[in-house]
Amino acid sequence: MTAVDAPVANATEHRARLLEGMARAVAAKGYADTTIADIVREASVSRRTFYENFSDKSGCLIALYEAASGNALAVLRRAIEPASDWKTQVEQALSAYLGVLARNPVLLRTLFVEILGLGSPGLAARRRATRALADLMVEVVNTRTGERPRQTPLDPTIAVAVVGGINEMVLDAIEQGQAAQLQALVRPAAALLQAAVAADC
């Protein structure tokens, strides 16, 4: 590592530690009661380091949301087996995706509920995550292994609507205190997508 590379590497490490610190603080106290002092203490970095990476607490939460969403999407993508039919792929992917979301119910509530309280920046972050999931859905449905291509490809707008429906299922589970049992949503979520695909043929 050169001297030029070192500051970049340190910045990346500090940012990752701050996101982990944010996640731990939120899990312990909830977002509303979490302070920047809590975050830097959990991350074992200085307040100055925090402000070198984020302008405020909400910026840190959005970054945590984007990192967590990116991780969930990566898990989902790895769970897809191209050799399987698309319906099996969807169920496997949804099981993996909902499984990773369920691992931390407290953080899940923050990422699904409190992100919306940040106004336009939070909403924009959520829409980016929704679009990424919808794009992957379109990719899986429209490139069916061993099957003829769809005469009418799945409309990306329909895919966004399906992702929105699945998000509402997750939100309902959170509100019902069932965030740790998200696997129960695999079948209805898969059925929602299958119905949308059938209707969009």
Does 47 share its domain with 78? no
This prediction has a pTM of: 0.82
Q: Which residues contact 64 (CB under 8 A, 6 or more apart)?
A: 19, 22, 23, 26, 111
At 200, which amino acid appears? D
pLDDT for the residue 184: 94
158: containing domain: 57-199
Tally of structural domains, the chain: 2
Whether 112 and 191 share a structural domain: yes
Give per-residue pLDDT as tens, 109-160: 878 888 888 899 999 999 999 999 999 888 888 876 555 656 678 889 999 9
As a whole number of angstroms, the distance between CA 133 and CA 139 comes to 10
Q: Both 31 and 61 in a single domain?
A: no
Please give the chain's pLDDT, 201 residues, in tens.
Answer: 333 333 334 558 999 999 999 988 988 888 889 999 999 999 999 999 999 999 999 999 999 999 888 888 888 888 888 777 777 888 888 898 898 888 888 778 878 888 888 899 999 999 999 999 999 888 888 876 555 656 678 889 999 999 999 999 999 999 898 988 999 999 999 999 888 887 755
CATH code for the domain in which residue 6 is found = 1.10.10
CA–CA separation, 143 and 59 (whole Å): 37
| Distance from the Cα of residue 52 to its chain's centroid | 25
Percent of the chain with pLDDT over 70: 89
Same domain for 16 and 84: no
Q: Give the pLDDT of residue 137.
A: 87
Average pLDDT, the chain: 85
* Co-location of 106 and 14 in the same domain: no
Same domain, yes or no, for 100 and 171?
Answer: yes
